[in-house]
Amino acid sequence: MNFDAPYTIYILAAYGIGFVLLGGASLSAWRDWRRVSGAWARLNGRGGRGS
């Protein structure tokens, strides 16, 4: 890719937005799963960290 070409900033911004939204969706999906599975494990007394 030629970074000296015009409009490079638009291309980088487009890819940046894609990363941010995909990354945000991945992080929140993973965080929700950790929370729910942790609660489930505690409820069943397996590998419970908090209780």
Partner 1 sequence: MAAASAIKAIHQTMLRAAQPARFVELSGMLIPWVAALGAAMFVAGLVDGLALSPPDYQQGETVRIMYMHVPAAWMGLFVYALVAGLGGLGLVGGHPLAFAAARAAAPLGAMFTAVCLITGSLWGKPMWGAWWVWDARLTSMLLLLFLYFGHIALSRAFDDPRRGDKAAAVLGLVGCVNLPIVKFSVDWWNTLHQPASVMKLGGPAIDPSMLWPLLLMAAAFKLIFFALWLVRTRTEVVGARLRAAASRSRMEGER
What residues make contact with partner 1 under the rule CB under 8 A?
A: 1-2, 5-8, 10-11, 13-15, 17-18, 21-22, 25-26, 29-30, 32-33, 36-37, 39-40, 43
Q: Least distance in Å: CB of 3 to partner 1?
A: 9
In this structure, the dihedral spanned by the alpha carbons of residues 11, 12, 13 and 15, taken in order and rounded to 10 degrees, is: 90
Residue 41: CB atoms within 10 Å? 15
Q: What single-letter amino acid sits at 19?
A: F
Q: Least distance in Å: CB of 32 to partner 1?
A: 5
Q: Least distance in Å: CB of 18 to partner 1?
A: 5
